[in-house]
């Protein structure tokens, strides 16, 4: 039996074969128990580990395990998923939104990490804790989906159309014609810059998801231009149940002319890459 494990900064992803591929995700607060259980259940399995905490897992649980590089595992695993799903995979940018975010260029099966950013799923969790005191990913994603980022962010239309600073006509605000802005008024002028707003937890989380999506797409657009790739795939556990983030990624990708999509089970890319590497 072969077992691939991707021990990332936030979550451990496990892939194994038992009448088809199985996928499991565990959090670090339950990891010791779960990994000991796995070890007892499958003592003679071929373990292949990857991710930032792979070496520590090897030391503590699986001394016989092979450890393979995270970047190779992620790209090989993503390519496997793309082929299985019948999606284009000849030339693409892979954007892994994990705790932070990594960009890979994949061309004819060759891959290279081209960019990294500290803005990612960890940013969503960290801002979530600050804004709401909550630490549960699904709850924070739920808040983000219900919020209105306009109460947190300053939009272009807020700058071009706002007369509230003119005491003499302030009372007439709203009765004036909107001033035409040179770019779409709904675009962000400043993330979290609406210092006059009274945002709720939901509004703050909506703005956090938007800022992560917007920043990620802007970096993706720059990388895509430099590397002449137009096909983009987003992966990573950060996308799970986070509709505000996913919607933002697709909207801004289209707006910048990128052909973007998600890969089903994409968060298991690293673990699948590790699992597959034991074939060789
Ligand atoms: P990295 O690759 O950067 O080392 P990682 O591999 O652990 O980190 P992922 O598992 O791809 O990263 O994504 C982690 C993110 O997924 C979290 O920051 C959070 O936004 C989101 N997430 C989804 N489900 C959970 C969960 N149950 N617990 C914590 N975070 C979750
Ligand atoms: Mg990862």
φ/ψ region of 228 (left if φ > 0, alpha if ψ in -120 to 50, else beta) reads left
CA 196 vs. chain centroid, Å, equals: 30
102 φ/ψ angles, rounded to the nearest 5 degrees: -125, 145
Atom 20, ligand 1: residue with shortest CA distance: 121
Give, as one character, the DSSP assignment of residue 69.
Answer: -
Ligand 1 neighbours by CB, cut-off 6 Å: 8-11, 27, 51-52, 98-100, 121-122, 124-125, 137, 236-238, 240, 267
Nearest ligand 1 atom to the CA of 235 is: 11
Residue 179: the pLDDT is 86
d(CA 245, CA 125): 12
Ligand nearest to the CA of 13: 1
The pLDDT of residue 233 is: 98
* Structural tokens at position 75: 């790209």
- The H or E element spanning position 21 is strand 21-27
Contacts of 34 (CB under 8 A, 6+ apart): 12, 26
At residue 33, the pLDDT reads 98
Tokens in use for 198? 């009274």
Which residue, by CA, sits nearest to atom 29 of ligand 1? Answer: 137
* The pLDDT value given to residue 175: 63
Tens of pLDDT, residue by residue, the chain (280 residues): 999 999 999 999 999 999 999 999 999 999 999 999 999 999 999 999 999 999 999 999 999 999 999 999 999 999 999 999 999 999 999 999 999 999 999 999 999 999 999 999 999 999 999 999 999 999 999 999 999 999 999 999 999 988 889 988 866 656 677 789 999 999 999 999 999 999 999 999 999 999 999 999 999 999 999 999 989 999 999 999 999 999 999 999 999 999 999 999 999 999 999 999 965 4
> What DSSP state is assigned to residue 257?
T
Interatomic CA distance for residues 231 and 49, integer angstroms: 29
The span from the CA of 150 to the CA of 153, in Å, is 5
Token code pair at residue 153? 């962010």
Which atom of ligand 1 has the smallest separation from the CA of 97?
11
The model carries a pTM of: 0.96
Q: Which atom of ligand 1 is nearest to the CA of 241?
A: 23
Concerning whether 32 is annotated as a catalytic residue, the answer is no
């Amino acid at each position: 039996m072969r077992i691939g494990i991707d021990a990332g900064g936030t979550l451990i992803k496990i892939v194994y074969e038992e009448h088809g591929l199985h996928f499991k995700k565990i959090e670090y607060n339950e990891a010791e128990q779960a990994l000991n259980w796995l070890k007892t259940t499958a003592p003679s399995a071929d373990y292949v580990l990857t991710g930032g905490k792979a070496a520590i897992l090897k030391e503590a649980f699986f001394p016989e395990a092979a450890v393979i590089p995270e970047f190779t595992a992620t790209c090989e695993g993503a390519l496997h998923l793309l082929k299985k799903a019948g999606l284009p995979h000849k030339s693409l940018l892979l954007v892994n939104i994990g705790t932070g975010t990594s960009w890979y260029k994949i061309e004819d099966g060759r891959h290279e990490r081209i960019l990294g950013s500290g803005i990612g799923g960890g940013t969503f969790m960290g801002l979530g804790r600050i804004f709401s005191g909550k630490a549960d990913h699904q709850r924070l994603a739920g808040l983000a989906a219900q919020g209105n980022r306009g109460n947190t962010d300053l939009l272009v239309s807020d700058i071009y159309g706002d007369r509230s600073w003119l005491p003499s006509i302030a009372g007439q605000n709203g009765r004036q014609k909107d001033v035409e802005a040179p770019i779409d008024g709904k675009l962000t002028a400043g993330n979290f810059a609406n210092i006059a707003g009274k945002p709720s937890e939901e509004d703050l989380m909506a703005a956090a998801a938007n800022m992560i999506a917007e920043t990620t797409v802007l970096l993706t657009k720059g990388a895509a231009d430099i590397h002449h790739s137009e096909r983009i795939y987003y992966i990573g556990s950060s996308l799970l149940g986070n509709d505000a983030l996913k919607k933002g990624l697709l909207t801004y990708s289209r707006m910048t002319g990128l052909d973007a999509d998600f890969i089903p089970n994409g968060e298991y890319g690293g673990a699948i890459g590790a699992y597959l590497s034991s074939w060789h």
